[in-house]
């Protein structure tokens, strides 16, 4: 019985999930202990730019992992 996804597909899935997790981890923090005090660290470049880009790349990697098909030899295609 042949599986729909190959080992490379699952590796891409795991890499995408890891990238998404890393992006969310980079978004953590920046809050203030006192709700009456503003903490400008919430608007750091890490949380506003880098983390969403890494998360988006993770989603793209997962989509690529779903769509990617390994090349087949000419003999196995017949």
Is position 2 within any domain?
no
34-60 as b/e: b if 16+ CB within 10 A: eeeeeeeeeeeeebeeebeebbebbee
Is position 19 within any domain?
yes
Residue 54 domain boundaries: 7-77
Read off the pTM: 0.81
Q: Residue 27: its pLDDT value, please? A: 93
Is position 1 within any domain?
no
pLDDT tens over the chain, length 78 residues? 788 889 999 999 999 999 999 999 999 987 778 888 888 888 899 999 999 999 999 999 999 999 988 777 655 555
Q: Residue 66: its pLDDT value, please? A: 93
Specify whether the CB–CB gap between 66 and 9 falls below 8 A. yes
Is position 64 within any domain?
yes
Q: Residue 70: its pLDDT value, please? A: 78
Domains in the chain, number: 1
């Amino acid at each position: 019985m042949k599986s729909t996804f190959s080992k490379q597909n699952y590796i891409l899935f795991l890499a995408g999930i890891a990238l998404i997790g890393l992006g969310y981890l980079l978004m953590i923090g920046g809050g203030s202990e006192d709700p009456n005090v503003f903490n400008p660290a919430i608007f750091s470049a890490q949380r506003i730019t880098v983390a969403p880009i890494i998360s988006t790349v993770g989603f793209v990697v997962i989509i690529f992992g779903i769509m990617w098909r390994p090349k087949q030899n000419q003999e196995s295609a017949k």
